[in-house]
Amino acid sequence: MTDVLGIHHVTAIAGDPRENLAFYTGLLGMRLVKRSVNQDDPGTYHLFYADAEGNPGTDLTFFPWPHLPAGRLGTGLTGEVMLAVPKGAVRYWAERLAAAGVHSGPLEERFGERALLVTDPHGMAIALVETEAERRFSPWEASPVPADKQVRGIHGVRLWEESLGPSRKLLEDVFGFSLQASVGEWHRFVPTGGSSGGVVDVREAGGVGRGVMGRGSVHHVAFRVPDDAAHGRARARVLAAGHRPTPVIDRFWFKSVYFSEPGGVLFELATDGPGFAVDEDPAHLGEHLVLPPWLESDRERIEAMLPSLDG
Ligand code: ZN
């Protein structure tokens, strides 16, 4: 059962899209690889930050919904997104964040990895985690961050669950992940041959209360499958395990299936291809508003609804 390779992308809810863009490209130095709209709510942007090529597993995406109340962390939510940085880079990052007036927390040691904690402008918890693990990564030449310090992509996510058992069963029996280690209330799961990009830490946090999704919350965590055939097999296993996956939805840059994991976190299964270069010149990703073909006829109305990202 190696169909689920790790994390494909994480999607979260931001406030003002310009502040979101400035933080993730200007400060964290990621590349805006796709400027699109929420396909279920086309008056809202969908902004994708990744490495230079938008390799699967590098991608953190946002729906900016400034009018939404702030989320409240609790069980059934993703409490933090871990971004991979090269070994030895956290000192650079602590200084870079401080110079920009962004507070970062004390360094934490977790499962043998050093993590620098920071909160984005809209309240989302991020950890910059040092790792040497090999992964697909293309440095972004125009980044304000030097290539040897750049964010490598998603390292993992930290989920808060009322109880470990049901989520563990899904991760192990359906996804084929294994429990790597447990420290206190935290349990680390990794895919077969686990590496950076596939870490799922689960906090068994019974009694802290149910989380409420809002601004600054992670909306869903998408897991990678290599192709359509693997997507079908993984969906069938999710269904057979008693969960309720959606039909396959064509997101144009990849195909998606969504379902709620037993603790309430929204999961997605997404195919590695065809990728972000399918409709844009790789040298100019993210520079213009891209719509999937079925929304193209509505472009004028959609553009009029969206706030400007420039200036
Ligand atoms: Zn998604």
How far, in Å, from the CA of 48 to the mean position of ligand 1?
10
Contact 237, 14 (CB under 8 A): no
How far, in Å, from the CA of 251 to the mean position of ligand 1?
9
Domains of the chain with bracketed CATH: 6-305 (3.10.180.10)
Beta-carbon contacts of residue 276 (< 8 Å; ≥ 6 apart): 33, 34, 48, 50, 53, 54, 253, 285
How far, in Å, from the CA of 298 to the mean position of ligand 1?
22
What pLDDT is attached to residue 292?
Answer: 85
Letter for the amino acid at 187? H
Please compute Rg for the chain using Cα positions: 18
How far, in Å, from the CA of 91 to the mean position of ligand 1?
32
In terms of Cβ atoms closer than 10 Å to its own Cβ (0-12, 13-18, 19+), residue 236 is exposed
| Averaged pLDDT score across all residues of the chain | 95
State the CB neighbour count (10 A cutoff) for residue 275.
Answer: 16
Q: Could you read off the pLDDT of 230-270 as tens digits, one per residue?
A: 999 999 999 999 999 999 999 989 999 999 999 999 999 99
- Mean local confidence (pLDDT), 38-44: 92
What pLDDT is attached to residue 276?
Answer: 85
How far, in Å, from the CA of 101 to the mean position of ligand 1?
31
How far, in Å, from the CA of 62 to the mean position of ligand 1?
10
CA proximity to 46, closest of 6, 9, 83: 9
Q: How far is CA 83 from CA 52, 198, 246, in A?
A: 15, 11, 28
How far, in Å, from the CA of 92 to the mean position of ligand 1?
31
Confidence of residue 21 (pLDDT cuts 50, 70, 90): very high
Contact 9, 60 (CB under 8 A): yes
Percentage of residues in the chain having pLDDT higher than 70: 98
Contact 27, 250 (CB under 8 A): no
Confidence of residue 63 (pLDDT cuts 50, 70, 90): very high
Contact 170, 163 (CB under 8 A): no
How far, in Å, from the CA of 98 to the mean position of ligand 1?
31
Structure tokens at 22: 């400035």
What pLDDT is attached to residue 311?
Answer: 58
How far, in Å, from the CA of 253 to the mean position of ligand 1?
11
Q: Could you read off the pLDDT of 119-152 as tens digits, one per residue?
A: 999 999 999 999 988 889 999 999 999 999 999 9
State the CB neighbour count (10 A cutoff) for residue 10.
Answer: 23
Confidence of residue 277 (pLDDT cuts 50, 70, 90): confident
How far, in Å, from the CA of 99 to the mean position of ligand 1?
33
How far, in Å, from the CA of 103 to the mean position of ligand 1?
29
What pLDDT is attached to residue 57?
Answer: 94
How far, in Å, from the CA of 292 to the mean position of ligand 1?
15
What pLDDT is attached to residue 19?
Answer: 97
Report residue 209 CA to chain centroid gap. 24
How far, in Å, from the CA of 189 to the mean position of ligand 1?
20
How far, in Å, from the CA of 107 to the mean position of ligand 1?
30
Q: Could you read off the pLDDT of 178-215 as tens digits, one per residue?
A: 999 999 999 999 998 766 799 999 999 999 999 999 99
- Mean local confidence (pLDDT), 286-299: 93
Whether pLDDT at 279 is above 80:
yes
What pLDDT is attached to residue 38?
Answer: 94
What pLDDT is attached to residue 310?
Answer: 79
What pLDDT is attached to residue 101?
Answer: 97
